[in-house]
Amino acid sequence: MKIGMIGLPNSGKTTIFNALTRAQVQVTPYSGAQAEPNLAVVDVGDERVLRLAEIYKPKKMTWATVEIVDFVAREGAFSGNLLGLIKTVDALALVVRNFKDDFMGPPTPLQDVETVEGELLLSDLIVAETRLERIEAGNHRGKKTPAVELEARVLDKVLAHLNAERPLRTLALSADEEKLLRGFQFLTQKPLMIILNSSETNFGKNQEVLAQLDQRYRTIEFAGSFEMELAQLDEQAAQMFMEDMGITASARDRLTQCAYEVLGYISFFTVGQDEVRAWNVCRGDTAVQAAGTIHSDLMRGFIRAECFAYDDLLACGSEKAVREHGRLRLEGKNYRVQDGDILSIRFNV
């Protein structure tokens, strides 16, 4: 799972990145000099991994992970190299300023969200119009085919939706239409979450703004600068300051939970004496897709999945008891993996 952080200049985006990742990237006002994004991989906190480790006593524990990409803050439409980089992410996290800035003045979070959404819409419009122009030019040269005609019809539908100032994530598409558009990686088709970056003094006092944003987006509030400082403390000291601020979980845990909800992800587990590990897949993915998440050979040679539920393991006390109580199942390749499933893949390559 890859989350791309975007935002207007001076929104505190890199501050949030540091709070999430415990990195110490230099935080400076936007100068336009930075060209490369900041990258980090963070663990998805999951107490179930610890409980499974208590049962199996493995040599190693491995959490599911999320890759965080902090893109360059800029004004104007997303284009060029930046567009190519942003297209690689699974979801966008838009950081909006909710603190006073000496240069920018008072915060305008709702207006900032509309500004960025407008830039995303414009970027998608340019991509769709450019492709339609190329299709038209090809038709004039006698390259008209049924497949190209279908693509043009779907892109006309896309253009109409974008011209109505509506993001493509709200456009109803058939499975065939979605497949046809997949290669474009339109930005407004990607799931979008909002990070309201508040100051330490107004954190927790923005219910009206949060309610307005929540009508359209999944929104979470951070006290960016404060939480960046927390990330550099040991866990016990950080917990004390978090309680004083009314922060119930770390920035990392709140963002990864939000990302799971927005993207529709769930976790399954593999267990044993060598390793207890969590994996993330999309809700609705099959057992064979989960096998491919572990290794392509398991997907290619998939036979069956031995499966039992995390809750059944806790209730029974051991894997042996799970088997004795008939809670272990053999599932085929079309089985829909459930959150908390513990899988062992039978395969033959």
**Model confidence pLDDT, tens digit, residues 275-300:** 999 999 999 999 999 999 999 999 99
271: its two tokens: 């267990």
Position 125 scores a pLDDT of 95
What is the CATH number for 34? 3.40.50.300
Position 121 scores a pLDDT of 95
Mean pLDDT of the chain: 90
> Alpha-carbon Rg of the chain, whole angstroms?
23
Is the same domain home to 197 and 69? Answer: yes
pTM, two decimals, is 0.86
Distance in angstroms (rounded) separating the CA atoms of residues 268 and 338: 7
In percent, how much of the chain has pLDDT > 90? 72
Is the same domain home to 16 and 160? Answer: no
pLDDT band at 333 (very low <50, low <70, confident <90, very high): very high
> Which of 76-90, 168-182, 220-234 bottoms out in mean pLDDT, i.e. has the lowest?
76-90
Is the same domain home to 185 and 199? Answer: no
**Model confidence pLDDT, tens digit, residues 48-75:** 999 999 999 999 999 999 999 998 776 6
- Dihedral in degrees, nearest 10, Cα atoms 194, 198, 202, 203: 70
Q: Judge whether residue 171 has pLDDT over 80.
A: yes
In order, the DSSP letters of 237-296 are: HHHHHHHHHT--S-HHHHHHHHHHHHHTEEEEEE-SSSEEEEEEEETT-BHHHHHHHH-H
Q: Judge whether residue 102 has pLDDT over 90.
A: no
When pLDDT is averaged across residues 221-231 and rounded to a whole number, the result is 90
Does residue 57 sit within a domain?
A: no
pLDDT band at 34 (very low <50, low <70, confident <90, very high): low
152 closest CA partner among 136, 168, 167: 136
Is the same domain home to 154 and 247? Answer: no
Distance in angstroms (rounded) separating the CA atoms of residues 218 and 258: 8
| Size (the chain), residues | 349
Is the same domain home to 181 and 309? Answer: no
In which domain, by residue range, is 129 found? 115-189
